[in-house]
Structure formats: C-alpha cells, structure tokens
Structure 1
Amino acid sequence: MNWIDNFVRPKIRSILGQKRDIGENLWVKDPESGEMVFYRDLEANQWVVPNSGYHMKIKPADRLKTFFDDGQYSLVSVPSVPVDPLKFRDQKRYVDRLKESRAKTGYDDAVLVATGKLYQRDITVAVQDFDFMGGSLGMAAGQGIITGLETAANRKTPFVLFVASGGARMQEGVLSLMQMPRTTVAVLRLREAGLPFFVVFTDPTTGGVTASYAMLGDVHLAEPGARIGFAGARVIEQTIREKLPKGFQRSEYLYEHGMVDMVVHRHNLRSTIGSLASILTKGEPVGELTSTAPTLARATMRDAALAAEGDDDELTAPSAAHAE
C-alpha cells in the first residue's frame, strides 16, 4: 500500500461521490419538439412549453391556484367510501396501489373539489388528477364528482370540471361502472337547478369518463392537443381494419367535427370560462371569449346570451345537443 492507495484514490472517490446541489427536474424535455425547457420557466408559464405551445400535465394544486382569483380557494371534503371492497389483487394488492398513489400525489383519490371566486363570482371546481392511478373512475372519484356537482347546486354556483382520465378503475369492477349513472344523475340535478356545467378536456380523457359526465356539459372546452375518446386509436384500427385520419381523437379534430365547442389555450381558460359563466348566469361578460376559432367563440357567446334571455329554468349552450 502506498500513498496513492491510502490518500489519492479515497480522495477521488469522495469527490466523485459528492452530488451537486441541483434538482433532478431542473430541465424538462418537450415531448413534441425535444426542446429542453428550464423547470422554473415552465412552471411560471402554467406548464405550457413557451416555443411549441405544448400543454404538459399540470398538478391539481397548480391548476386551482392559477384558476381562482388571487389563487385563493377552499377544498371541499369528499365523503369516504369503502376501500378495496372486492379485495382485488393483480401484480399488487389494490390497497398497496392506493397507498402508493396517495404517497405520490398527497391526495386521497383522483378527484379534488374546491370552491372560490372567479372574477369575483362564486364558483365550484373539480379537478381529476391523472397521476392518481391514471385519473381512473372508482367509487371515491365518482363520489368526488357528485360532491362537486351537489356543492355547486347547493351554493347556486356554476360548476367547472377539469377532466383527465384513463377510464373506469378495473380494481373495483362493477362498482366502478356504477359511478357512470350516479354522476349522470348528479349532472341532471345541477341542470334542474338552472346552473351551467363547464367541462374542460385535458390530455387524456378516455374510457368510461368520456362515456358519462365528461360529455354532459353545457359547454365543452378543450386544451390544445388533448386526446379525447372512448377506446384507444389502436383498438379502433384493429376493429374496423382501417387507418384512422391524422389527428384523430385530438381536441382540434373533435372541434372540427362538432364534439367540442371551443379549443382554448390554458392561459385563456380563466377569462373564457369567466365570460361564459357571466352570460349563462345573466351577468356581464368579464372579457373576450378566446378560442382557436374566433368565429366559434362569437357564435358560442351569441347562443349563450340567447339562452340566458330564454327560460329561466333551463339554461343550455350549443353542446347540449351533443350531450343528450
């Protein structure tokens, strides 16, 4: 043993072993262009890549903070439901998957409900968290949606749902599927109260969620590039044995074919929903409706104004025909 073994090599190992004080997510890669974007710049831009405009997933807390006035809101408690009623197990126990998702997100389940103000008007908002088991619809998530709708009806406020989901939660079987009619009934109660229901499609919105409450809004808005559909594109292609059109199941394609009323940039969602809520509750619009299609935006405002002047008990918007 010499001084190289006793001193130099341990010193080199200690230097190499020291980790630099740099966050793991200092840079984020744009999935569309491959561009590396500084984390704080992306966060300050509401998780929209500045150059390409690609809308990345945004955490529920960040979504609520940027949507409500001054970032102030109050969370609504959701009634508890039975955990793992079927004692389900695949590669892991269902209860273990729930624990992992709760530790990862900090939430009890995939739906967060909050109340606050939007341009000084009371409003109720629900957000689905895709990071919680793919935003899947189980008993707890269904109860969250119902709680949000009932809260809006009781407080007499518009209801906004930011939806992101992979569909029904298979670990709860038929109990998961039962959330589809349950949430539909809650939507009907909100409609009977004469209150508007806004659905904002984010990437992705698929499966049983699309087949139920996500398509029952009075106005359907979508973020640019969001995937919206029931079955996956590959499954559809294998079933019909045909190649699907380019951009199939993206928000722009659905807008062109009448399933989405507006495609709205994330930065403009606040003002657009604020204006629609004002019109449908017989108030003054807070600003311009902003859409990727200005003609549609003007038509939506006109039709909404006509609906507000009509029957007080039944407020509708252009997408109501699609929903029924």
Structure 2
Amino acid sequence: MNWITNYVRPKINSILGRREMPDNLWIKDPETGEMVFHTDLENNQWVIPGSGYHMKISAKERLKHFFDDGAYELLENPKAPVDPLKFRDEKRYTDRLKEYRAKTGMEDAVLSALGNIEGLPIVATVQDFAFMGGSLGMAAGEAIINGFETAIAQKRPLVLFSASGGARMQEGILSLMQLARTTVAVDRLKEANLPYIVVLTNPTTGGVTASYAMLGDVHIAEPGAVIGFAGARVIEQTIREKLPEGFQRSEYLMEHGMVDMVVSRLELKQTIARLLKILLKQEGTPVEVAA
C-alpha cells in the first residue's frame, strides 16, 4: 500500500477542499496526438473536432444523439440461453458475461429502440463494440431479429448500426446460425416494402459483414471505419501479396463500390432522414453522395 498516495494525499485534499481530477479529463487523438477535453468530445458525439477522427461511441449515447430530442423507447430484448456449450478458456464464459454486463450496463451487445428522426418514426438497432467486441451470439441475434420484427409489426423503417468483430466463438456453431437467422429477418422486412439502412462503423468484420450488415438498401460508412470479412493480415498471408494502402477502410470501399457513401457521424441523422423520405416517397431533398 502506498501510504502517501492512499492516505496522506486524500487527507490534505479534504482539508484544503480540493477535488480529485478524473483520469480521463483529456483524451488523446490517435491520429494527431492532440489532447481534447473530454466534455467537448462527448458533446461532439466522440468525433475529434480538429482531425474528424471518429472514436467509438456507446450504443446508448449513439441513440441519444440520433433520435429527435434524445427521446427513444428501448425494446426489451428476448431471453436467450446463457452459455449453452459450457465454454471455458482462460475463464468461464458466464464470468465473462458478468464482467461485461457490469462494465457496460447492457445485457448483451445489441440494443434496439423506437423513436423519431426529423419526425419520421423508425426502429434503430445498435451494436456496442464495448460488449465483447460487439460479437454476434444467440442473445445478440435474438435482439436484432426482434428489432426487425418490431419494424415489420409497426410498419417502420429500420436503421442498423453495425460494430463487431464477428461471431462469438464461445457459442460456436450456435453463433454462426445467427447469420442465417438475421438474413431471413432482413428478407421479411424487404417483403414488407420497408426501408433498411445500414451504417457501418469501426470495425464491422467477420460474420456480421457476411450477413445482415451488407444487405441494406443503402450502405453508409463512418469515416475511417474498417470493414471486411477476413483481416488484412490474414489476406496478405493467404495471397502472399501486399494489399493497397487503406484497404478495407470506408473511403477505399466507397471508391470500389462496396458502400454507397461515407458520412460523418455529425451528419448521419440528417442524411438518413433525407434517404428515408426518398425511399418512403415522401417530400424531401436529394441526397449527395459524400466522399
């Protein structure tokens, strides 16, 4: 025990009326090294004002900024079996789930919510990378399907924000089954003639890219997001060639026709609202494809 740090310093601070400075008061821009005030970054939707670098944002914060007046109604996620394979690596899967639930305040990696954007009622489904890398397991699959079913029942468009490292290995084949199940849910939404817009955020990889994340009517990517199936290093080792600069980044994928547009997080709400008005054949302004 450090006696000075743990006892003397707090005692002096309490006598002098000082407050402890939080450790994360300033946050460093990974690209430029610029130090940004935490509150300014939070108010700017975790987009660094100087460089435009998009940091990760929690599902709840994304929903708050995305919906009109920050008002939304969370859908209750269906229950799913916990640890069906009794999986254990360095620790038990059930212990990992408890750890991430305590850390994020979420039951699993996906939230779905009802709300309005510029007056349009929609369903938004968001993956949170902070929960086990946004990995797709049975609970996440059920939450995504529930979002689609709610959109169909209430005749609302669905906007999905993907952020995932892929399938959840602790659930094995049961995780991979969610790829097919979510794909069926996408088909049902399209059969109901309801728009489906996907926002690909950093990162969107693995089985998520191989299923619902690349089946939208429109694919929007946040700047600088890594989007792909296999990792770049695995591809290089397989084909034994050096990949192009920026391979699997949003901008590269838009240039090569894999995504429709790259849009800053700060402009997503307005862009998606205009797109939905067009897809729903409501009066609206044309959408320009951003570089």
Give the TM-score normalised by the residue count of structure 1.
0.84
Aligned residue among 273, 287, 290 for 1:289: 287
Superposition deviation, residue 14 in structure 1: 1.7
SS in 2 for 1:242: coil
Give the TM-score normalised by the residue count of structure 2.
0.94
- CA–CA distance in structure 2, aligned partners of residues 189 and 268 of structure 1: 29
Matches within 5 A, 1:293-312: 293=291
Paired residue for 2:207? Answer: 208
Partner deviation per Cα, 1:88-134 (whole Å, 9 max, x = no partner):
00001000000001001000000000001111111000000000000
Paired residue for 1:73? Answer: 72
Unaligned runs of 5+ in 2: 14-18
- CA–CA distance in structure 1, aligned partners of residues 128 and 135 of structure 2: 9
Q: Does 1:55 align with 2:54?
A: yes
Unaligned runs of 5+ in 1: 1-8, 294-324
SS in 2 for 1:86: coil
Q: Does 1:14 align with 2:8?
A: yes
Paired residue for 1:279? Answer: 278
Matches within 5 A, 1:95-134: 95-134=94-133
- CA–CA distance in structure 1, aligned partners of residues 269 and 75 of structure 2: 21
Superposition deviation, residue 38 in structure 1: 0.4
The CA RMSD measured in Å over matched residues stands at: 1.5
Superposition deviation, residue 250 in structure 1: 0.2
Q: Does 1:219 align with 2:218?
A: yes
Paired residue for 1:252? Answer: 251
- CA–CA distance in structure 2, aligned partners of residues 26 and 73 of structure 1: 29
- CA–CA distance in structure 1, aligned partners of residues 60 and 86 of structure 2: 31
- CA–CA distance in structure 2, aligned partners of residues 144 and 161 of structure 1: 12
- CA–CA distance in structure 1, aligned partners of residues 136 and 10 of structure 2: 47
Matches within 5 A, 1:80-229: 80-229=79-228
Paired residue for 2:16? Answer: none
Is contact 2:260-2:289 (8 Å) kept?
Answer: no
Superposition deviation, residue 16 in structure 1: 7.8
Superposition deviation, residue 24 in structure 1: 1.5
Paired residue for 1:319? Answer: none
- CA–CA distance in structure 2, aligned partners of residues 15 and 88 of structure 1: 45
Identity fraction in percent: 68
- CA–CA distance in structure 2, aligned partners of residues 18 and 136 of structure 1: 46
- CA–CA distance in structure 2, aligned partners of residues 207 and 65 of structure 1: 28
Deviation larger for 108-117 or 14-23: 14-23
Superposition deviation, residue 290 in structure 1: 5.2
- CA–CA distance in structure 2, aligned partners of residues 252 and 90 of structure 1: 37
Highest Rg: 1 or 2? Answer: 1
- CA–CA distance in structure 1, aligned partners of residues 139 and 9 of structure 2: 49
- CA–CA distance in structure 2, aligned partners of residues 260 and 18 of structure 1: 57
Superposition deviation, residue 22 in structure 1: 1.1
Superposition deviation, residue 17 in structure 1: 7.2
- CA–CA distance in structure 1, aligned partners of residues 225 and 12 of structure 2: 42
Instruction: Name the count of aligned residue pairs.
Output: 282
Classify 1:18/1:91 alpha carbon distance in 2 versus 1 (closer, same or farther; 3 Å).
farther
SS in 1 for 2:73: strand
Superposition deviation, residue 15 in structure 1: 3.8
Classify 1:289/1:178 alpha carbon distance in 2 versus 1 (closer, same or farther; 3 Å).
same
Is contact 2:162-2:198 (8 Å) kept?
Answer: yes
- CA–CA distance in structure 2, aligned partners of residues 79 and 292 of structure 1: 37
SS in 2 for 1:37: strand
Classify 1:15/1:108 alpha carbon distance in 2 versus 1 (closer, same or farther; 3 Å).
closer
Superposition deviation, residue 292 in structure 1: 2.6
- CA–CA distance in structure 1, aligned partners of residues 195 and 10 of structure 2: 60
Query: AA paired with 2:208?
Result: V
